[in-house]
C-alpha cells in the first residue's frame, strides 16, 4: 500500500497506484445537514 506523502498531483496519485479515499459523500452530508461543524486539519 503506497501513501501519497508529498504528492500534489491527482493524476500522479491515480497513475502510480497510491491510496486515495474519496470523502465526497461525507462532505456533502455535512454541508446539507444544516448544522455548524468545525473541520480542523492536521
In a domain, 14, yes or no: yes
In a domain, 41, yes or no: no
pLDDT level of residue 21 (50, 70, 90 thresholds)? confident
Nearest to 20 by CA among 35, 33, 30, 5: 5
User: pLDDT value at position 12?
Assistant: 93
Q: What is the C-alpha to C-alpha distance for residues 22 and 13, in angstroms, rounded to an integer?
A: 13
pLDDT level of residue 9 (50, 70, 90 thresholds)? very high
In a domain, 13, yes or no: yes
Q: What is the C-alpha to C-alpha distance for residues 27 and 14, in angstroms, rounded to an integer?
A: 21
Boundaries of domain holding 5: 1-34
In a domain, 29, yes or no: yes
Number of domains observed in the structure of the chain: 1
- 39 has a pLDDT exceeding 90: no
In a domain, 40, yes or no: no
The mean pLDDT of 4-22, rounded to a whole number, is: 90
In a domain, 6, yes or no: yes
Amino acid at each position: 500500500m503506497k501513501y501519497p506523502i508529498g504528492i500534489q498531483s491527482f493524476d500522479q496519485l491515480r497513475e502510480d497506484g497510491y491510496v486515495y479515499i474519496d470523502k465526497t459523500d461525507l462532505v456533502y452530508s455535512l454541508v446539507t445537514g444544516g448544522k455548524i461543524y468545525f473541520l480542523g486539519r492536521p
